[in-house]
Structure 1
Amino acid sequence: MERGRQALIALRRITRAMEFSARRLAKDTGLTNSQLMVLRILGQGEVTPGSIAIQIGLTQPTVTTLVDRLTERGLVARRRGETDRRQVWIALTESGKAMVASMPSDLQMSFHTEFTELADWEQAMVVAALERVAALLKADKIEAGPVLELGEIAPPQESL
């Protein structure tokens, strides 16, 4: 029973770290982790919403909503493709570039940096343990991208 309690405490610490990070980022920037990830991708150059969706593991409609919100804030702009008018390209505005340049480090970035510094066997061990925890929580079938963010969570869709 003691190990079970320790595991639950560790899970709660992870959840709280995510909550604190999201609150700090929202306070500092007014943006969510997902919005910050979109801005970071756009900091590398103009891309399509589909490309953003693939890079951060979210659906294209979700990315469209994120881009809508960033456009409303004047951080990104859309433009139609020159050869294919159906294609939409997203780029940072000058305000968006300034935001990216002054962006604070977040939990996800620091995790990624420290995780990649682990030995390959240790990375595999951590991933295996986390996947096992997800299975124990019956969360292994829930679709999720590599974005650490808390907020409104929709219940998993039932298979018909």
Structure 2
Amino acid sequence: MMLDLCSIRKLQTAIRTFEENLKKETGLSLNDALLLCATRKGINEPGALAKELELSPSRLTRVLDTLEKRDLIVRKVSQTDRRGISVSLTEAGQELIGNYSCSGIQVPEELKFTQTEQNN
């Protein structure tokens, strides 16, 4: 089987277009939105979030700072280990992520395969 680099380029362009539409519609970058989704799925420890999103610790901190300033997440000291931090969605964060599937964000044709009936 041969790799079609042109198709990969189309996907890359489609993802960039989607991110631009996401930013216009919600003010979120793709990393912001992915972090909100991961947190909604129960990934709450910064180390686990960084691993899930493939972000460096410094980049993760910047994303968390941005979302916290927008009151979409809160960081709390862990109940079990005071050195640890737990990330959770605020009501505004839950509402924003709940609206993704109902939004008018245009999904490029090349990314339609990612759409589901019910987002988890």
Question: TM-score, normalised on structure 1?
Answer: 0.58
Match of 2:27 among 11, 25, 30: 30
- Structure with the bigger RCO (C-alpha within 8 Å, sep 6+) is 2
Asked if the contact 1:46–1:92 (Cα under 8 Å) also holds between the matched residues in 2, the reply is no
Which of 75, 80, 83 is matched with 2:77 structurally?
80
Structure 2 unmatched ranges of 5 or more: none
RMSD of aligned C-alpha atoms? 2.7
Q: Highest CA radius of gyration, 1 or 2?
A: 1
Cα deviation, 1:105-140, whole Å, max 9, x if unaligned, reads 7679755569xxxxxxxxxxxxxxxxxxxxxxxxxx
Query: For the residues of structure 2 that align with 1:64 and 1:35, how far apart are their CA atoms?
Result: 11
Q: Please state how far the C-alpha of 1:16 moved relative to its aligned partner.
A: 2.6
Q: Cα deviations across residues 75-128 of structure 1 (Å, max 9, x unaligned)?
A: 0000001231110000000000001100147679755569xxxxxxxxxxxxxx
Aligned residue pairs: how many? 108
Deviation at 1:60, TM superposition (A): 2.1
Query: Alignment identity in percent?
Result: 26
Q: Give the gaps of 5 or more residues in structure 1.
A: 1-5, 115-160
Pairwise CA distance, 1:15:
3.3
SS of structure 2 residue aligned to 1:31? coil
Instruction: Show structure 1 runs of 4+ deviating over 6 A.
Output: none
User: In the TM superposition, what is the alpha-carbon distance from 1:59 to its structure 2 partner?
Assistant: 1.7
Distance 1:11 1:42, change over 3 A: closer
